[in-house]
């Protein structure tokens, strides 16, 4: 009889553990499903520089001889560094939280894929709220502008607006979620554009180091 009772308790523990695991997996799967329902936008772009020249100076017509020399030297040295910080807004319009484990990103410059990477933090996008995910991009553009020279590079730098955006630079993202040892990705990359509407007043960001 004791053996039967012990066996029954053991079976019950296994069932409860399995149910708990399955419930957790179900919640995670629901979270990734919600990522597809979220709305993605480009809240802002900041700290944009080309070959060490702040593009705000170029956009404002404040570029000087020293700045032009930096741009010219970058072509001679065969290195044209581009650095910029994207702030991607993720709005969760549903009544269920969404969890973002990894977000792959691709940056295009003049319709050429120039850089790609992934986030390293985990973000919780609460139901009915908006979270901001920062992406720092640092890449080299020499292969694009090596043939066109300094004037083309200056035109590119001057294409940036005061908010840091440029019609010649695009970004797309692909959010994913870790479920156990598996990585579940959304089917396609999402091209994001500048958010020209009003910012959500109930912005909430929860970040957990991965």
- pLDDT tens-digit map of 66-98: 888 988 898 899 999 999 999 999 998 888 888
Q: Do the Cβ atoms of 202 and 129 come closer than 8 Å?
A: yes
Please give the Cα distance from 13 to 194 (Å, whole number): 52
How many CB atoms neighbour CB 93 within 10 A? 12
Per domain, the residue ranges of the chain are 2-209
Q: Do the Cβ atoms of 114 and 141 come closer than 8 Å?
A: yes
pTM of the model: 0.72
- pLDDT tens-digit map of 99-154: 888 889 999 998 889 899 998 888 888 888 998 999 999 999 998 888 777 888 88
- Of 133, 113, 130, nearest in space to 208 by CA: 133
């Amino acid at each position: 009889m004791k053996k039967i009772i012990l066996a029954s308790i053991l079976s019950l523990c296994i069932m409860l553990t399995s149910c708990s695991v399955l419930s957790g997996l179900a919640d995670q799967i629901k979270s990734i499903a919600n990522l597809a329902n979220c709305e993605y936008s480009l809240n802002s772009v900041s700290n944009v520089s080309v070959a060490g020249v702040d593009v705000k100076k170029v956009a404002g017509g404040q570029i000087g001889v020293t700045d032009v020399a930096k741009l010219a030297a970058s072509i001679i040295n065969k290195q044209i560094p581009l650095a910029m910080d994207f702030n991607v807004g993720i709005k969760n319009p549903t009544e269920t939280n969404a969890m973002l484990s990894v977000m792959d990103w691709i940056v295009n410059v003049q319709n050429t894929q120039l850089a790609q990477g992934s986030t390293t933090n985990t973000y919780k996008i609460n139901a009915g709220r908006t979270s901001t995910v920062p992406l720092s991009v640092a890449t080299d553009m020499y292969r694009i502008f090596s043939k066109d020279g300094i004037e083309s590079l200056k035109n590119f730098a001057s294409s940036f607006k005061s908010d840091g955006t440029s019609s010649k630079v695009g970004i797309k993202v692909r959010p994913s979620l870790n479920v156990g040892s598996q990585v579940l990705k959304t089917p396609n990359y999402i091209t994001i554009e500048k958010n020209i509407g009003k910012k959500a007043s109930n912005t909430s960001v929860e970040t957990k180091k991965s």
